[in-house]
Amino acid sequence: MRRTKKVGSTGWMGPRYGIRIRRRVLEIDRAQHKANTCPKCSTVTLWRVASGIYECQRCGVRVSGPAYVYVAPPPITRQERGAAGEETAKPSGKR
């Protein structure tokens, strides 16, 4: 049987620190302990190993991110890929 229904992992705090802080801590705690989507194999098997380090249980890739909650980087669009490729391909003739 569960001992805490509302407070979850912040039950050790008791009545201290105020309800707002305890709710924020609970929200961060729940978010950091859930699985995320792996950027390489697209499965929901990315877990937090340490502060800012996340590892996929399926493919073994390690990625870095924010300390508490993983946020996937935005995908690179075709325009951005093309612009990056053109800049490196063109020699700069003018000084």
What pTM does this model have? 0.66
Name the residue among 36, 34, 64 with its Cα closest to residue 51.
64
Domain ranges (residues) in the chain: 1-33, 35-69
Q: Which two tokens stand for residue 36?
A: 């995320």
Q: What is the pLDDT of residue 40?
A: 87
pLDDT the model gives residue 84: 62
Give pLDDT tens digits along the chain (95 positions): 677 788 888 999 989 999 999 999 999 999 888 999 998 888 899 999 999 999 999 999 999 988 888 888 777 777 776 766 665 555 666 65
Instruction: Give the tokens for residue 83.
Output: 């612009």
Q: For residues 15 and 32, what is the distance between their CA atoms, to the nearest angstrom?
A: 24
CATH of region 35-69: 2.20.25.30
Q: CB under 8 Å to 33, separation ≥6 — which residues?
A: 48
- pLDDT reported for residue 88: 55
CA of residue 64 relative to chain centroid, distance: 8
Q: What distances in angstroms separate CA 76 from CA 3, 70, 72, 84, one per listed residue?
A: 46, 18, 12, 11
